[in-house]
Structure 1
């Protein structure tokens, strides 16, 4: 246990808690929109920071590093490519997402396909997001264990409490500003760490020359389908990620939403490339390490300057904490807006929405903590959660925006079969292939075939989902 690392970690956590307390004050959070959209007043640079930090959680710092350590840097380029490609899709949709004024992704689907699709989409979102929250708890526990000497289970309890507190406190305002500062620190820390760590690998060249032969190939020893099975879940998730939609909804106007996505596209490379290089260096510097500790182990094992290692560990934990808080906040909105608010006559008052949202967050946090104890690795839970959500929601969302011939029956068939095939494959199939390789084609074919055999609900896209006129004054748009 390194005293400096422990001190930096504690100070960082205290700062996160203080941020949550500051933004939990009544005058900062007085309405449901304040809680979930930060009053739609986030500056663009803060938007970029919160988009990056929300996306880059334990799935990157631990799950992604684990993939690099196991299969090598070239294969990891394919693994990580899903994010920038998905961002380009969201950039194209950013104006429509902002103009739609929706609180949740299922609400967007209802505009086109009706209430039955919204309810099924909400249920699937809750199922998947509880899993994503669970592996943030697990990942946060791993970092706390590395730094303090506590067991991963004890660390997970601490991570659970802090993640839940941030989500309960100031909502998106506290999460977004915490994200922004954490993103700035970890990007700086990772970029500084790269030359320092490479300098320890035989004159900057050993990080590649000393790799096992298989790790220097484009496939990393995986079959093409297996590699595609790692790429697709991330690509699909970001396209339909409700956190992305809610943050775009929190932007000041449609133009700001597009600028934020452009900023996220470039900022993502400042995270992924250092993670790939550092995790690759760990293959030779720490040959007996656990794959998930590839990057964090470099910081904790004294292979970086002490203060730099402490900052990377602390900000990595902060990324995981704020990602967990974001997903807790987001899945809570499904229960509030897709459930209570949707079926309450006359709607819910702001006070009621805030109260129900916070109670929901507590319940979901408890469920996620229990779920996390059943999956042995972050990467395993990551692939399962990403696949369930991406396979079920991406085809309907793309149909909602782009295919006028899609029908409610087609969308329902696609979602139901996508989830069933994913779960059955994960539980019963004995294969190296991730479920997405089978379940995504099933979902797409079901959507196409059933839609062509049934009558569309509407001939035209709703105004809320159509491409807005760029000449319209952004201030007049929702």
Structure 2
């Protein structure tokens, strides 16, 4: 137990609680739109910070680090390639997304296709997003167990409580600003740690190329299909991730949305590079450790000074906490807006009621997430399942809704159902241990979308979203 690490973590937790309490005041969060979309007020830097901290969570600093530790530098960067490609697409569509002013992806589906697609999409998204929230609890538990005498299970419970509080307190306003602070903190900690590990502990980068090379091939022993199976889920997720669309919709205007997406692109590069290099360095310095701990274990006094190690752990904890609270919040948005709100759509809106329904939904989702995480052996395994479930069922339909006039409601429903069944079937079969399910489920979902759309005719009133007058206009 390192006292410095504990002090740094306590300072971070107190700061996050203070920010959450500040934005939880009735003056700051007085309506459902304040809670769910930060009152559509986020400036570009905060928007970029919350997008970065949301997408780069324990799936990156634990799951992605596990992969780079196991297979080497090139596979490590290829693992994250989908994130970089996806951010470029978000830059291109940022203004359009902000102009649509939708609350959720399922709402877009109803606008473009049918009410049935909205319901099915909501269910599919909740199944995937609860999984993503779940492994944030595990990741945070790892970090707490490194810093304190507590075991991982107890740490996960404490982390779940903190993550849930931040989502409950001020909604997206508190989440966005804590994300912004956390993103700055983790970037600083990662780069300073990289300086010590490569510059002092390794004395250069010459040994990094040896990691994974002994397993044969340029992909560290993986076949091209297997490598694609790890790279595709991140691309599929980011292209359709409701969190990204929700944040772009929360920008104060279209210009801020576009600028925020550009800053997100550069921020992703700045954060991914040290994660990969640190994980591979850890494979050289600590062969045989638990791969999930590749980056986090470098906080040990053998590799970094106490203050820097504490900053690394606190920064990693910050990423995990903010990502978890973001996914709890977006699940809450789907439950309130796309399920409860559709039971009686003609009922007059009640901002205060919607805010409290959102908070109740956050609490319920947190409990389900904690239960789900017990059924997966590692963060990486749960990460691949959750990313694939979302990417195979939702992303093809999102892109079709935005860009393909010929897409129909039948095609959209077919894609979601086929993608979901294929993902679950492949996971249950046990074959995901050899080839990730995205290799099977994503192509099948796209085929179902295309065939279903071509065999049916669009409704007469269907149009691409950019042709429909925005609700905010």
When normalised by structure 1's length, the TM-score is 0.95
- Residue among 441, 450, 453 paired with 2:452: 450
Deviations 1:125-170 (A, max 9, x none): 1111110010000111011111113111000000000000000001
Native 8 Å contact 1:97 1:465 kept in 2: no
Native 8 Å contact 1:112 1:458 kept in 2: no
Higher mean C-alpha displacement, 126-135 vs 333-342? 333-342
Deviations 1:195-222 (A, max 9, x none): 2101244421343255352379531110
Q: Say whether 1:380 aligns with 2:415.
A: no
Q: Say whether 1:320 aligns with 2:289.
A: no
Higher mean C-alpha displacement, 423-432 vs 157-166? 423-432
- Residue among 461, 464, 467 paired with 2:463: 461
Counterpart of 2:128? 128
Query: Quick one: distance in 1 between partners of 2:314 and 2:430?
Result: 39
Give the direction of change, closer, same or farther, for the CA distance of 1:164–1:350 in structure 2 (3 Å limit): same
Counterpart of 1:193? 193
Higher mean C-alpha displacement, 101-110 vs 87-96? 87-96
Matched pairs, number: 471
Query: Quick one: distance in 1 between partners of 2:289 and 2:462?
Result: 56
Q: Say whether 1:23 aligns with 2:27.
A: no
Q: Say whether 1:419 aligns with 2:417.
A: no
Give the direction of change, closer, same or farther, for the CA distance of 1:217–1:179 in structure 2 (3 Å limit): farther
Higher mean C-alpha displacement, 123-132 vs 199-208? 199-208
Query: Quick one: distance in 1 between partners of 2:423 and 2:205?
Result: 42
Query: Quick one: distance in 1 between partners of 2:381 and 2:145?
Result: 20
Native 8 Å contact 2:62 2:293 kept in 1: yes
Query: Quick one: distance in 2 between partners of 1:120 and 1:319?
Result: 30
Higher mean C-alpha displacement, 391-400 vs 424-433? 424-433
Where in structure 2 are there 5+ consecutive unaligned residues? none
Counterpart of 1:304? 304
Give the direction of change, closer, same or farther, for the CA distance of 1:202–1:16 in structure 2 (3 Å limit): closer
Higher mean C-alpha displacement, 401-410 vs 325-334? 401-410
Query: Quick one: distance in 2 between partners of 1:398 and 1:372?
Result: 30
Deviations 1:245-286 (A, max 9, x none): 110011011121111111100110111000111111101111
How far the C-alpha of 1:291 sits from its partner, in A, is 0.4
Give the direction of change, closer, same or farther, for the CA distance of 1:30–1:455 in structure 2 (3 Å limit): same
Query: Quick one: distance in 1 between partners of 2:318 and 2:436?
Result: 29
Native 8 Å contact 2:229 2:439 kept in 1: yes
Query: Quick one: distance in 1 between partners of 2:219 and 2:241?
Result: 27
Q: Aligned Cα RMSD in Å? A: 1.8
- Residue among 435, 438, 441 paired with 2:440: 438
Higher mean C-alpha displacement, 194-203 vs 303-312? 194-203
